[in-house]
Amino acid sequence: MTARTASAAAGAGRHRALPALLAVASLAMAAPLLWTLLLSLKPNGELLRSTRSAFSPPYTLQNYTDILGHSAVFAWLLNSTIVSLAVTLGVLALSSLAGYGFARLRFPGRGVIFIVVLFGLAIPEQSVIIARHQMFSALNLHNTYRGLIFPGLAAPFGVFLMTQYFRATPQELEEAAALDGASRFKIFWRILLPLSLPAQATLGIFTFLSTWNDYWWPLISATDSDMYTLTVGVASSQMNFAQTNGLGFLMAQAVFASVPILIVYVIFQRYIVAGVSRAAA
Amino acid sequence: MMRWPVGAAVLAAALVAVSGCRPASPGPVQITLQRFFGACDAEFGASTDVPAAEGECGIITTLINKFNADNPDIWVKVNIVYWPGYDQLSAELAAGHPPDVVTMHESVISDYSQRHLIMPLDAMLASAGIDPAGFTRAAREGVTRDGSVYALPFDNWAPLWHLNLNLLRAAGLVRDGAPVLPHSPEELLQQARQFTRATGKPYLIQSIVNDPAASARNLFTGLMQQNSDFFADPRRIRLQTPEARRVLQLFKQIRDEGLTTKDQDYTAATAAFLNGQGGVYIVGTWMIGTYEQASLQPGSPLAGGYTVVPFPQLYPGRDVTYADGHSWVVPNAKRSVQKTAAIARLLRFLRDNDFQWSRTGHLPAYQDVIDSARWRALPHRTEVARLVDTAASLPAGVQRQFTIQQIISEEMESAITGQKPIDSALADAERRVNDLLFNLL
């Protein structure tokens, strides 16, 4: 057997092994999700006895009916949607403007201010939560949409991302536009902003996902059940020892809360993958 | 055409503006009641048929529905929180907008009463015609701080011994239809060995993995039964004692001899008892209904063979079981006379319906309910009724009891599973608890 034949055989082997490896990895990643889905379709009483019953019928949609039967669940869904959309749009607007300013405009203290903004990346939310809670109390912002939206608008990562993106955009584009008599704002508006759409898509999707999944701040700011977001609302509807006496209901809640996220993911899948690749690069 | 930033800003501003829209308050006087116990609107959301409701969630939901239906001049708005809800309550108190009535464990009352965050209820209870003398002793001790009543007690609960009589009978541990129970650590070990030899199954089922309180409750009960004054000073615990060592040694030996299930969390242990995997499961009053139901199902390992008893007296000091309870507190806040009167009426309603609540399995907080024929007619209530006299909580001044239970359970688990020597675990538990209490504000 020649060296070339041996190399071709090894290549073919690798070719066959790779899909099998990927299939196993995919199954391992999907298994918890499938397990959650299966459990959500079983009566709680059966699961109390043994979770092995998840592999055999009968299945039921009762747990989902119970969730939808809760009078407040659609209000929580609406609250989450309003808050997530407002934060996402606000972050996009503020980060784009700030990013352009840091990348292209020259003004006194620019470097210092940029560093101060970057400090925000290093400060965990936990360290400021009490001060923020007191500030929002003084401003009477708890149990309002503004109370849920404003903290999310401070997005140093967004500013950093957009700054880097604008810095990487060729300066010549702006110079050419300036030669044609375009104003600074027109250059930003007509040229740089459309070019930054991929970065904005990435930032928007990640902001939406993190806001949708946020639990801690809504837990202590939106304490009135009318203002609960979906994450806080579904948690509140769990009984004591829900993991034991209401496992099916608990899993149905997990599935229900993740459906909107899955829809967002399916619609924006292309951008999310591109965004992750870009961030990795 | 409007592009990003501007378009986004406009839409974001519009969404923010929506924040001005809040639902109008229905009803003339609104009380906000904040509770855990979950939500069950799908089944009981519109029901006012309290006797037909089941479970903690079902009964409390229909109770409030009934109160709203019977009192058209008051509207109780229910805020359901994730158990136990104290993070939210603290946040609300810090923000100056606490709810009007809140569920609180009796073991937690000191955390709030000592900082004057909840109000003494003596006057309000008097105005509602509720006499604390009617509370059971356990309930009265649970809600009284420095001579004042800080909560309306709703129930008491304690770790009980849930028994699989079918397996105990097979092991020769049922005599004249009654279970044979141990009266000392030695008897416990002897009976457990006898059980395991006869059935091939562990005598005890225990939840000791990631359980924040089960082991601590066993320790507290064991210490109280030996008259150990381990909280002589409410801000300092003493655990490096022969009494504490004895309790840990007993549970370690039970594990070392294979007389208990191992490495089970609460869910696994609960299912194990249901599936007949052991003779005795130490867990609270709230499981009575579930296991009673199982005992009525033909084919179940518990069929016709389930009963429950208080924690047996294992030490010669006194017959006592550590207990806690659920109660209703009223946070300090400025309220109108009408609202205060409405709260008093709600508390009276809750007190009058304590029997309905006691159907959950929890022990009633009122002596007249305990003495009533209808309560004693509920399954297994006569077996656990003596808890009224034997249940005891930690001294009233002890704060941060939830955290203390968690610390002690962690250290006990380390000792019982052999990860730490018993003396080290007790020393560590004592140091950690005392650090916690020393740093209280």
* B1 in any annotated domain: no
> Which pLDDT score, from 0 to 100, does residue B23 have?
46
The H helix count followed by the E strand count for chain B is 21, 17
Q: What is the pLDDT of residue B21?
A: 47
C-alpha triplet B343, B40, A48: angle, nearest 5°: 130
pLDDT of residue B243: 98
Average pLDDT, chain B: 92
More confident call, A50 vs A92 = A92
Residues B64 and B76 in one domain: yes
**Residues B378, B412 within the same domain:** no
Angle, alpha carbons A123-A124-A129 (nearest 5°): 110
pTM to 2 decimal places:
0.85
Contacts (Cβ under 8 Å, ≥6 apart) of A164: A99, A103
pLDDT of residue A101: 94
Return the H-helix or E-strand segment holding B205.
strand B204-205
Residue B95 lies in a domain: yes
**Cβ of B45 under 8 Å from any chain A Cβ?**
yes
Does the A79-228 domain belong in CATH 1.10.3720.10? yes
Per-residue model confidence (pLDDT) at position A112: 95
Range of the domain at B358: 25-156+324-392
On whether residue B5 sits in a domain, the answer given is no
* One-letter-per-residue 3-state SS of B249-288: HHHHHHHHCCCECCCCCHHHHHHHHHCCCCCEEEECHHHH
Tens of pLDDT, residues B364-388: 999 999 999 999 999 999 999 999 8
Q: Is A44 on the interface with B (CB under 8 A)?
A: no
Rounded average pLDDT over B402-429: 96
* A124 has a pLDDT exceeding 70: yes
Dist CA B315 CA B165 (whole Å): 24
Q: Which residues of A touch B6 (CB under 8 A)?
A: 93
Find all residues with CB under 8 Å of B7, minimum gap 6, and list them.
Answer: none
| Long-range Cβ contact pairs of B125-130 (< 8 A, separation 24 or more) | B125/B149, B125/B152, B125/B344, B125/B347, B127/B341, B127/B344, B128/B344, B128/B345, B128/B347, B128/B348, B128/B351, B129/B348, B130/B347, B130/B348, B130/B351
Q: CB contact, 8 Å: B16 with chain A?
A: yes
Kindly state whether residues B252 and B106 are assigned to the same domain.
no
In chain A, what are the helix, strand and coil shares in percent, each to the nearest 5?
80, 0, 20
Query: Is residue B75 within 8 angstroms of chain A, CB to CB?
Result: no
Considering the domain boundaries, does residue B89 fall inside one?
yes
Q: A145 to chain B: which residues are within 8 Å by CB?
A: 15-16, 18-19
Question: Do residues B391 and B363 lie in contact, with contact meaning Cβ atoms separated by under 8 Å?
Answer: yes
Domain presence at residue B13: no
Interhelix angle B242-256/B422-438, nearest 10 degrees: 130
- Asked if residue B266 belongs to a domain, the reply is yes
- B299 reaches A (C-beta below 8 A): no
Interface contact B18-A82, CB threshold 8 A: yes
CA distance B301 to chain A (A): 11
What is the least distance, in Å, from the CA of B223 to any CA of chain A? 27
In this prediction, residues A146-173 reach a mean pLDDT of 93
Question: Could you tell me how many residues make up chain A?
Answer: 281
> pLDDT tens digit string along B194-244?
999 999 999 999 998 878 899 999 999 999 999 999 999 999 999 999 999
User: Degrees (nearest 5) of the Cα angle B53, B384, B293?
Assistant: 40
Whether A243 shows a pLDDT value over 90: the answer reads no
Sheet with B306-310, strands from edge to edge, namely: B204-205, B280-283, B160-164, B306-310
Nearest to A236 among B16, B82, B267 (CB): B82
CB of A209 within 8 A of CB of A223?
no
Please state the domain extents for chain A. Answer: 36-70+237-281, 79-228
Model pLDDT for residues B3-30, shown as the tens digit of each residue: 555 555 555 555 555 444 444 445 589 9
Q: Summarize the confidence of residues B283-305 as an average pLDDT.
A: 93
pLDDT value of residue A60: 93
- Comparing CB atoms, the residue among B12, B38, B42 nearest residue A86 is B12
Distance CA B11, CA A264 (A): 19
How much of chain B exceeds pLDDT 90, in percent? 86
Contact of B180 with B169, CB cutoff 8 Å: no
Instruction: Give the pLDDT band (50/70/90) at residue A278.
Output: low
In chain B, the percentage of residues whose pLDDT exceeds 70 is 94
Residue B290 sits at the chain A interface (C-beta within 8 Å):
yes
pLDDT at A32 over 80: yes
- Which member of A133, A237, A242 has the closest CB to residue B91? A133
Are residues B380 and B233 located together in one domain of the fold?
no
Greater confidence (B13 vs B398) lies with: B398
What confidence score (pLDDT) does residue A146 get? 97
In angstroms, the separation between the Cα of residue A92 and the nearest Cα of chain B is 7
CA distance A102 to A206: 22
User: Looking at this protein, which amino acid is placed at residue A79?
Assistant: N
Query: How confident is the model over A57-74, as pLDDT tens digits?
Result: 889 999 999 888 876 888
- Complex-level ipTM: 0.78
Give the tokens for residue A225: 């059940």
Task: Examine the domain organization and report whether B317 and B181 are in the same domain.
Answer: yes
- B270 to chain A, any CB pair closer than 8 A? The answer is yes
Residue to mutate among A240, A243, A249, A256, with most B CBs inside 10 A, is A240
Tell me if B185 is assigned to some domain: yes
Residue B19 has what pLDDT? 44
CA–CA distance, A28 with A21 (Å, rounded to integer) = 11
As a whole number, mean pLDDT of residues A44-61 equals 88
Mean pLDDT computed over A267-280: 71
Q: Which of B2, B36, B59, B80 to mutate to test the interface with A (most CBs of A within 10 A)?
A: B80
Give the model's confidence band at A15: pLDDT under 50 very low, under 70 low, under 90 confident, else very high: confident
Burial class (CB in 10 A: 0-12, 13-18, 19+), A187: buried
Residues of A in contact with B95 (CB under 8 A): 133, 136-137, 142, 223
Structural domain total, chain B: 2
From CA B439, how far away is CA A233, in angstroms rounded?
34
Angle at B354 between CA B340 and CA B54, to 5 degrees: 115
Claim to verify: residue B176 and residue B214 sit in the same structural domain: yes
Q: Are B396 and B141 in contact (CB under 8 A)?
A: yes
- In chain A, which among 241-260 make CB contacts under 8 A with chain B? 241-247
CATH of the domain at B335: 3.40.190.10
Mean pLDDT calculated for residue range B338-344:
97
- Cβ of A243 within 8 Å of Cβ of B266? The answer is yes
- B430 within domain boundaries: yes
Q: CB neighbours of A205 closer than 8 A, spacing ≥ 6?
A: A264, A268, A271, A272, A275
**Whole-angstrom distance, CA of residue B363 vs CA of residue B131:** 19
B427 and B290, same structural domain? yes
pLDDT band at A275 (very low <50, low <70, confident <90, very high): low
B271/A71 CB distance under 8 A:
no
Q: Hey, are the CB atoms on B38 and A246 less than 8 Å from each other? A: yes
Q: Which residue of A has its CA nearest to B85?
A: A236
Rg (CA), chain A: 25
Q: What is the pLDDT of residue A198?
A: 84
Contact (CB, 8 A) for A210 and A218: no
> From A94, which residue of chain B is nearest by alpha-carbon distance?
B5
> Within an 8 Å CB–CB cutoff, is residue B9 touching chain A?
yes
Phi-psi region of B176 (alpha: psi -120 to 50; beta: other; left: phi over 0): left
CA A21, CA B72: separation in Å to the nearest integer?
Answer: 66
pLDDT for the residue B20: 45
Q: Return the pLDDT at B216.
A: 96
Taking an 8 Å cut-off on Cβ atoms, the answer to whether B267 and A146 are in contact is no
Separation of CA B340 from chain center: 28
Q: Number of helices (H) and strands (E), helices first, in chain A?
A: 17, 0
CB-based contact, A159 to chain B, within 8 Å? no
Query: What are the helix (H) ranges across B104-241?
Result: 109-113, 122-127, 137-143, 165-170, 185-199, 214-225
CB contact under 8 A, B88 and A220: yes
Residue A75's Cβ-side half-sphere holds a number of Cα atoms within 13 Å equal to: 15
High-pLDDT (> 90) share of chain A, %:
50
- The radius of gyration of chain B's CA atoms, rounded to the nearest angstrom, is 24
Q: Which of A101, A184, A118, A211 is nearest to A157 (CA)?
A: A118
Q: Which neighbouring-strand residues pair with B152? A: B328
Residues of B in contact with A199 (CB under 8 A): none
* Structure tokens, A221: 């700011």
CB contact under 8 A, B97 and A93: no
**pLDDT score, position B70:** 97
Closest chain B residue to A75 measured between Cα atoms?
B23
Q: What is the mean pLDDT of residues B290-315?
A: 95
Mean pLDDT lowest among A78-92, A175-189, B87-101, B348-362: A175-189
Per-residue pLDDT tens digits for B110-127: 999 999 999 999 999 999
